């Protein structure tokens, strides 16, 4: 989280973010206003409530484990493996070399793998792309000075062989159409190759930019989210079934339903609901990994011996 360190102390950011998440519920202007789960039943009544994402209902949270690996102390991205049950992929924030961590869902380390061909300026998030590839977003830019950002595409490694490295990475270099931005959120559609970057701003007005991993181009700005004062977008994900999109800040979870065949960008143009997950208690939380059906997710904050948490919808 280098951008926050440069602007505000973390405690101040978390406090402002908590207020911002509440204030965002009355949003408007050029971007989606935010609905809380308690207001999801207005308008068309029960039909609309039934259509609200499950993550905006009641959630159970439990400690799944701890990440005791001494080299994994600044985890900033998290995604469930597209092919291996019970495996999470993660990486450190800026300051580390280009490498990925394979973690079990109890937080224990399976492997630490260097990524040949890639470089790490400020890795911030990880997603699953087409053909079960992993996409690592080198998108952090504290000073908003980078001429371009990178998304590194790498084939998911085979863990049974205990390799020391992944396959060589390929680079997707992207430019914003309106100048440099700091960002920590990368979301991808494994079916279409759509890549979405959500910028991080203290005022909560996060730009949403889209491109394609299969046909590199300049990022297109598609909308602006209003996450409220202090609503700093730090991670996001889309469920494997493509029906749920979620973005987190340090204090709040924003959730969108996505229609089959619709783009992530189009989903983010609609109004989200706000989940009840107590993310403020995590501390410096910059990760989010949705389950395949979008009914649960994992998080892990930065820091040594970080707590891996699993949030699950409560079934009535």
**What would the mean pLDDT of 65-82 be, rounded to a whole number?**
96
Q: Residue 14: is its pLDDT beyond 90?
A: no
Q: What is the pLDDT of residues 178-237, one digit of tens each?
A: 999 999 999 999 999 999 999 999 999 999 999 999 877 789 999 999 998 889 999 999
Q: Is 80 contained in some domain?
A: yes
Q: What is the pLDDT of residues 256-285, one digit of tens each?
A: 999 988 999 999 999 999 998 999 999 999
Q: Is 314 contained in some domain?
A: no
Residues sharing a CB contact under 8 Å with residue 307, sequence separation 6 or more, in sequence order? 63, 66, 107, 282, 300, 301
Q: How far apart are CA 216 and CA 172, in angstroms?
A: 7
More confident call, 163 vs 238: 238
The pLDDT value recorded for residue 28 is: 32
Report yes or no: 234 and 249 within 8 Å, Cβ to Cβ. Answer: yes
Sign of the C-alpha dihedral, residues 181, 231, 306, 155? negative
Q: How far apart are CA 14 and CA 11, in angstroms?
A: 5
Q: How far apart are CA 182 and CA 214, in angstroms?
A: 24
Mean pLDDT of the chain: 86
Beta bridge partners of 196: 187, 210
Q: Residue 291: is its pLDDT beyond 60?
A: yes
Q: Is 315 contained in some domain?
A: no
Q: Is 266 contained in some domain?
A: yes
Q: Is 83 contained in some domain?
A: yes
Q: Residue 35: is its pLDDT beyond 80?
A: no
10 pLDDT band, cuts 50/70/90, is: low
Expressed as residue numbers, the domain containing 98 is 2-309
Q: Is 316 contained in some domain?
A: no
Which region, left, alpha or beta, applies to residue 95 given φ > 0 means left and ψ of -120 to 50 means alpha? left
Q: Residue 314: is its pLDDT beyond 50?
A: yes
Q: Is 103 contained in some domain?
A: yes
Q: How far apart are CA 102 and CA 112, in angstroms?
A: 6
Q: How far apart are CA 276 and CA 249, in angstroms?
A: 13
Report yes or no: 172 and 217 within 8 Å, Cβ to Cβ. Answer: no
Q: What is the pLDDT of residues 150-160, one digit of tens each?
A: 999 999 998 87
The pLDDT value recorded for residue 51 is: 65
Q: How many independent structural domains does the chain possess?
A: 1
Q: Residue 133: is its pLDDT beyond 70?
A: yes
Range in 43-52, 106-115, 149-158, 207-216 the model is least confident about: 43-52
**What would the mean pLDDT of 70-85 be, rounded to a whole number?**
96
CATH number of domain containing 286:
2.120.10
Ranges of H-type helices in the chain: 2-7, 10-23, 46-51, 264-267
Q: Is 293 contained in some domain?
A: yes
């Amino acid at each position: 989280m280098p951008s926050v360190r440069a602007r505000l102390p973390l405690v101040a950011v978390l406090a402002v973010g908590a207020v911002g998440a509440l204030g965002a519920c009355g949003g408007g202007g050029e971007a989606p206003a935010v609905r809380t789960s308690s207001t999801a039943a207005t308008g068309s009544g029960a039909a609309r409530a039934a259509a609200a994402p499950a993550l905006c209902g009641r959630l159970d949270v439990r400690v799944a484990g701890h990440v005791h690996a001494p080299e994994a102390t600044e985890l900033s991205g998290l995604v469930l493996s597209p092919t291996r049950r019970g495996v999470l992929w993660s990486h450190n924030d800026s300051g580390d070399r280009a490498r990925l961590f394979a973690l079990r869902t109890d937080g224990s380390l399976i492997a630490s793998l260097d990524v040949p061909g890639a470089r790490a300026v400020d890795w911030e998030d990880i997603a699953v792309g087409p053909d079960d590839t992993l996409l690592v977003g080198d998108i952090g830019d504290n000073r908003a000075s980078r001429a371009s950002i990178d998304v590194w595409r790498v084939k998911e490694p085979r863990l049974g062989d205990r390799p020391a490295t992944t396959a060589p990475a390929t680079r997707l270099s992207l430019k914003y159409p309106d100048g440099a931005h700091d960002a920590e959120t990368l979301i991808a559609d494994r079916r279409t190759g759509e890549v979405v970057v959500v910028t991080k701003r203290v005022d909560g007005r996060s730009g949403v930019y889209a491109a394609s991993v299969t046909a590199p181009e300049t990022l297109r700005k598609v909308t602006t989210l209003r996450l409220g004062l202090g609503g700093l977008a730090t991670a996001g994900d889309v469920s494997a079934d493509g029906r749920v999109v979620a973005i987190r800040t340090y204090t709040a979870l924003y959730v969108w339903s996505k229609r089959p065949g619709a783009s992530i960008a189009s989903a983010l143009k609609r109004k989200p609901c706000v989940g009840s997950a107590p993310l403020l208690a995590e501390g410096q939380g910059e990760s989010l990994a949705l389950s395949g059906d979008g009914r649960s997710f994992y998080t892990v904050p930065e820091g040594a011996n970080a707590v891996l948490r699993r949030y699950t919808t409560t079934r009535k």
